[in-house]
Chain A
Amino acid sequence: MKRCDIYLHNVQMGKPQKKKKNLADKVHRTKTTTEIKNNPFEVKINRKKFEVLGRKTKNDVGLPGVSRSKANQKRKETLLKEYKQKDKNNKFIDRRFGEYDTKMAPEDKILKRFAMERQRTHDKKDIYNLNEEEELTHYGQSLAEIEKLNDAVDSDSDSEEKGLLSAELTASHFGGGGGLLRRRKPGEEDYEGGRKAKSRQELIEELIIKSKQEKRERQNQKEEAQELTEKLDQDWKSIQALLSKKPPKSEAKEDEHKPKLEEYDMMVRELGFEMKAQPSEKMKTPEEVAREERERLQKSETDRLRRMQGDVEEGDDKKRVHWSADDLNDGFILDKEDKRTLSYQDGKWNIEEEMEREEGGEEDDGEEAESGEPGRRGGEGEGGRKEVVPPKPSLSEEERLAQQEAAKAELPYTFKAPESYHDLKSLIHGHSPEKQCLIVERIQKCNHPSLAVGNKLKLQKLFGFLLEYVGELATRSPPRLDAINKLTPQLYGLCQLFPDAACKAMQTVLNDSAHEMEEAIEVKGRAAFPGLDMLVYLKITALLFPTSDFRHPVATPALVYISQALTKCPVTTLEEVTSGLVLCCLVLEYVTLSQRFVPELVDFLLGILHLAVPVKRSLGYPVVPPFRLAGKSCDLLVMSNAEGAESWSRKALPLSAVQGLQLPSATERDHYRLSLLATCMDLVKRCALLYKSLASFSQIFHPIKILLTKHLPVESFPTDIQDLHRELYTPKIVEVLDYGKKRGSSKQEREREKLKHKYKKEFKGALREIRKDTKFLAREKLSEIMSRDAERKRKVKELFGSLATQEGEWKALKRRKK
């Protein structure tokens, strides 16, 4: 069973090397360890400079000889072997299992090898042989085979008897073994009983006759068997003739049957091509769904980071999705999120929801409010409704349902896609924000790109109209910001469907406003702050597009636009301060993820704070346009009296304040000022956090620092703002742990120090090892050369010797002849 897998590939075996042993080796070999340790000449004691109590050192005693011999030994095993094999292409590979595994016990190795051998012979056909006994072999040959072979020889050998050596024959021919004779004893006794004296000659003749008789009998038997088989054959032939009569008939009929057969074939083929039942997707557990979602988000995040670094240029082509030639570009993508999965919720099969989703594509669907559009993520139960119509917290569940019922009762279920902005307006005019949202959603449903050819264009237009509508909502007074809020998911959904169209629409909006601003700047040198609609647009831009990209066709111009607004629009009223602060918030949101530096933001915040400085003399910091050091409306945020500070409480500012403020009393105005200041300070704080890692952080915030510490009348502000102020400019206390020794201030640094040290040590060690290796190799080479030289010398000497004897002999012969 065991097979030796040793392949000998034309190996050139080197001569066994004569090894000149080192002295250390010799010592090591000859003496036992205890002996060495006791030998004072072997031991090297490392002297300590100072005795430190309680310290245990590992390396106070060394055995240089031992360690040297150990290292030498190791080199011989590894390096020397490699060296010997250096220029040799052929190798001796022992492929037996575990041959080079020193950890394995030899018994284990044998066992494993045996098992593997068994496995290899255990062919596939044997898989189902459960009870079959193992095949027994002898010298690799099956015992059963051998037995069979014997039988065959029996039956086939007619005349020759070479293979047959019966016991008697052998016994009689070669005198037989003692055992045989002993076995024959009873028989012999019979013979001896019959006729006593039989000569050897007679016995042999008898044997011959016997065997001849046996032979004849066998021949007869065989002939009989032959006859019988022949007879059987003939019988079979007669029957076969009967059996084979039918096929000719069927051949005759074949032509008639042909069309039928084709039909059949077709059927078979059709069936073959028909979709076979395939194993369905494995049901996903909630954890799996969550994991997938997380993976998707992670992937998006890494994408985002890559774009933030700005290395999109190269990577973009790779990233592009493959579009099939049959793709309708309708936004209908069968990706993971879209796949319907079976899910259970509260012990019930979630099939209803699935059904609704399927129906969602149909035009006369009544419940489409609940079905998700293709862009929608997450197959969770009521996710669809929650996303679309955020329920008012004040309304109870029943009320909400009732409301929706009412809405459904009123609203038609199908809408034509609006062809113009006026169409859209007339469609949604007079409805509540929730209903407007529903209408927009239904428009989207009814005109899904997969339903008709022109729908894609219609929906692309719808995005533009919606944007326009949002702008109009924002310019109304009072602005309908809640309605805009409701429409946001719709915009997002449409944007996901048609990124290019959305990008274009957004760009147009931005471009128009920027152009207007540019014209104003050219004429007057300044411009008015963007209105609330632009602020909303900018916010929506941040919601729809990634603002952290290194370069983005919408986000980058939007940032330039904001920057322009922050530097070119003079601040003369509280409304304008509000607008400016909204813009600051937006900029901060834009760059929060990417942590990019926006100089205009810091400048503007400084300017706003400057507006709150009451005494504008010897300031020590510069302000940047649009602000001025002094002049009219430079005291915009200076408190008119101190009483306002006490009654003030911090609350969110209304966005509508951008359009106009109704603050009749001085106290109210003071309150508003304080709110603005609080916002501004908070923004400064966020900025400081965001930019703290910048190289010129202190230079950037130097003016603000001077302003906050020296000029701002903090005492007159309420405690809230004072707290903020304190937070901003309380020095951070850093624990200093440097007591003479270099311990590193932080854990990280210590770790780094440690690693550095380790690296140095390792590097030195490696260098030493390499040096020793080369020394060892040089020694080996030298010894090789020496031995070669010695050999040569010896041979030369031999030759000279033989020549000398020859010469001698020849001379002697000569002398003798003479």
Chain B
Amino acid sequence: MATSRSSNVSTDKSDETAKKSSKKDINNKVELIIKNRKNANDVFDILEYLQADKEKDVVFAVNACNKLFSALLERGDLFVGRLPSEEEMLTGNHSAEEKYRMFMRHRYNSCKDSLLGLIRHEAFQVKESALVTMMKFVSVEGKFPLLAVDWEEHYNFPRELLKAVVERLLSDKEDMALLISRFQEFLEMEDVRYYVMGSICDNVVRVMERAKGAVLPVYQSNVFLLASSISMPSQEAELSNFLVKQAAKQEDWKAAKLKEHKRVFERMWLCVLKYKLPSSMYKKVLVILHDSILPHMSKPTLMIDFLTAAYEVGGAISLLALNGLFVLIHQHNLDYPDFYKKLYSLLEPSVFHVKYRARFFHLANLFLSSSHLPVYLVAAFAKRLSRLALTAPPAALLMVLPFICNLIRRHPACRVLIHRPSAAEEPCDDPYLMDVDDPAHCHALESSLWELQTLQTHYHPDVAKAAMAINKPLSEQEDDISELLELSAYELFERGLKQKENQAVPLEFEVATQLLQGSGGILGAHFSLE
């Protein structure tokens, strides 16, 4: 067929005509092709438009392709089975009908290629419509398979097509967050999800093997985005939303079984996490791990290695790994040696400043709520926390002070920390060793919580009051710290702004005459009004 001719014509036309006319033009051509096979050659024009410079034209062309090929597929106008190459097609003895279908099938293939290319287009609109069109093809192909199948057990699903889409989504150059969030809509479909998971796994293995251990931040973040946007059903019965309905034995299809889903899900995550992760992604994975990954794995214990490795990393990553570890310890009988020792060493000054403070203390509270812990351990935690409290902001202090008090309540043997009858009146040197990482050897039980006494003079009234709690005998009832965990500094600030009704505002009685005077004039001693 005379490809060169038609392309010349179309480019000329597109140059000449305005946008509207191009849209009309494309639509007209689609209509013509669908109506009459004689106009089949116009398909070149449409495919030409896919490479146009103007975004709108491309979008129109993509939509037109969508319409055109869907119609053709439904009509069965595309060749089914192993497609001979175009040269073979011309040479082989085929009927005109067959030739037409083969021709169209070739056009369809080239259309798919250029659409996949368009997924990497810089304009989001183009990307989006290309993606949607591809998914439409996936769905139509599922209904009208292009592969000749003769055996019973086969289930129709255009796996290769989906795989190609996934591959395009997982770009290693640009962030595909927006497109992936658009794609999430398709992930609701059980079969799509099932096959996407498989594709991700294959893709990751392929790409990462090629990278040979190096970190690919963009690619990995795309993978993570796609993987984390998969929301797994919790029950078999929920598996009802399919993109492609199978004619026979729907129940036996792998994509319809929760167990299989779980297996693929697990395989996908293990593939993703097998390779070295950038630290920001580490955190992201750990944040969702306990909540949206572990419950959906068929064998969560497979995550032990990953979690212990993360726990050993230290810092915020360790804090986050705690949550997953907790699930494993709690529900899957994981025995973690030196768990508390590690937890103890996690307590650093920064623990009060990190974003995950609330989460960490929630878990620490859980871990330390066991009444079977040895006294030395609890004392070590209480002492270390109170020592760290000397560098903590007020919002954290409001949470950690009741926390320490709760520890002492749970373990009455720790009361010596706040009341030691045998001690001399004057404070001696603190026997507690801050630098020792082993709670068994830090001499916390021989020490006292002088830090709490220090904090009784904290500038924030609420903190000072909370620290005063140790002056009185502690009540039996534990303080509820769950509300205090999320307390932010701004909330604290706002709370301070609220003045009791009809109460006079106390004023400074020293008359102000200069800006830099007053209160010892410290500012004036170091800074000048310039």
Contacts and interface: CB of A to CB of B under 8 A. Distances in A.
Nearest to A536: B515
Interface string A569-602: 0000000000001100110111111111111101
A321 B516 CA distance: 32
Interface residues of A, number: 97
B518 A560 contact: no
A699 B430 contact: yes
B496 A560 contact: yes
B459 A544 contact: no
Contacts of A484: 515
A53 interface: no
Interface in B493-530: 493-494, 496-499, 503-509, 511-523, 525-530
B492 interface: yes
A492 B505 contact: no
Contacts of A561: 493
B497 A590 contact: no
Contacts of A652: 525-528
A454 interface: no
Contacts of B390: 599, 696, 699-700
A559 B460 contact: yes
A355 B100 CA distance: 114
Interface string A472-502: 0000001001101100110110011001101
A639 B513 CA distance: 39
Contacts of A518: 488-490
A456 interface: no
Contacts of A525: 355
Contact of B454 (A316, A554, A696): A696
A553 B505 contact: yes
Given A481-B530, A593-B519, A654-B528, A556 B461 contact: yes
Given A304-B509, A507-B497, A652-B528, A485 B514 contact: yes
Interface stretch (B196-204, B262-270, B346-354): B346-354
A423 B391 CA distance: 47
B349 A595 contact: no
A377 B511 contact: yes
A113 interface: no
Interface string A528-543: 0000000010011011
A589 B522 contact: yes
A656 B529 CA distance: 8
Nearest to B451: A696
A59 B237 CA distance: 106
Contacts of B389: 599
A551 interface: yes
B17 interface: no
A659 to B, nearest CB: 11
Most buried by A among B429, B457, B523: B523
B455 interface: yes
A454 to B, nearest CB: 23
Interface in B422-464: 427, 429-430, 450-451, 453-455, 457-461, 464
Contacts of B508: 492, 543-546
A563 interface: yes
Given A310-B461, A593-B519, A560 B394 contact: yes
Contacts of B427: 695
Nearest to A554: B505
A624 B505 contact: no
Contacts of B348: 622
A350 interface: no
B343 interface: no
B80 interface: no
B459 A559 contact: yes
A543 B515 contact: yes
B451 A499 contact: no
A694 B506 contact: no
B522 A567 contact: no
A564 B460 CA distance: 13
B278 interface: no
Contact of A549 (B492, B506, B525): B506
Contact of B518 (A568, A589, A695): A589
Nearest to A565: B489
A210 to B, nearest CB: 103
Given A515-B490, A588-B522, A694-B457, A499 B511 contact: no
A655 to B, nearest CB: 5
A597 B493 contact: no
A725 interface: no
Interface string A189-221: 000000000000000000000000000000000
A65 interface: no
Given A544-B507, A596-B459, A603 B391 contact: yes
B518 A543 contact: yes
Contacts of B518: 542-543, 589
A300 B391 contact: no
Given A542-B518, A695-B450, A597 B455 contact: yes
Contacts of A567: 353, 393, 489
Contact of B528 (A549, A564, A655): A655
A564 B493 contact: yes
Contacts of B464: 310, 550, 596
A552 B505 CA distance: 8
Contact of A551 (B350, B461, B514, B522): B461
A489 B512 contact: yes
A554 B455 CA distance: 22
Contacts of B164: none
B72 interface: no
A488 B529 contact: no
B273 interface: no
Nearest to A601: B459
B486 to A, nearest CB: 13
Given A481-B515, A560-B496, A624 B391 contact: yes
A560 B462 CA distance: 12
Contacts of B528: 652-655
Nearest to B430: A699
A599 B392 contact: yes
Most buried by A among B387, B390, B517: B390
A585 B512 contact: no
A682 interface: yes
Contact of B459 (A536, A581, A590, A603): A590
Nearest to A481: B529
Contact of B506 (A545, A591, A597): A545
Nearest to A559: B459
A727 to B, nearest CB: 15
A543 B512 contact: yes
A503 interface: yes
A461 interface: no
Contacts of B392: 599
Interface string A683-714: 10010000000111011100000000000000
B520 A503 contact: no
A496 B526 contact: no
A500 B505 contact: yes
B384 to A, nearest CB: 12
Nearest to A547: B519
A387 interface: yes
A304 B508 CA distance: 9
Given A590-B459, A699-B387, 16 more contacts: A390-B514, A481-B515, A481-B530, A511-B497, A546-B508, A560-B496, A564-B490, A585-B522, A596-B459, A597-B455, A599-B391, A599-B393, A682-B525, A682-B526, A695-B454, A699-B430
Q: A-B pairs with the 6 shortest C-beta distances?
A: A654-B530, A553-B499, A589-B519, A300-B509, A557-B496, A695-B450
15 contacts: A320-B504, A387-B513, A481-B529, A484-B515, A485-B515, A502-B505, A511-B493, A546-B509, A560-B489, A589-B523, A592-B519, A596-B459, A599-B458, A652-B528, A656-B530
Interface of B: 348-350, 353-355, 387, 389-394, 397, 427, 429-430, 450-451, 453-455, 457-461, 464, 488-490, 492-494, 496-499, 503-509, 511-523, 525-530
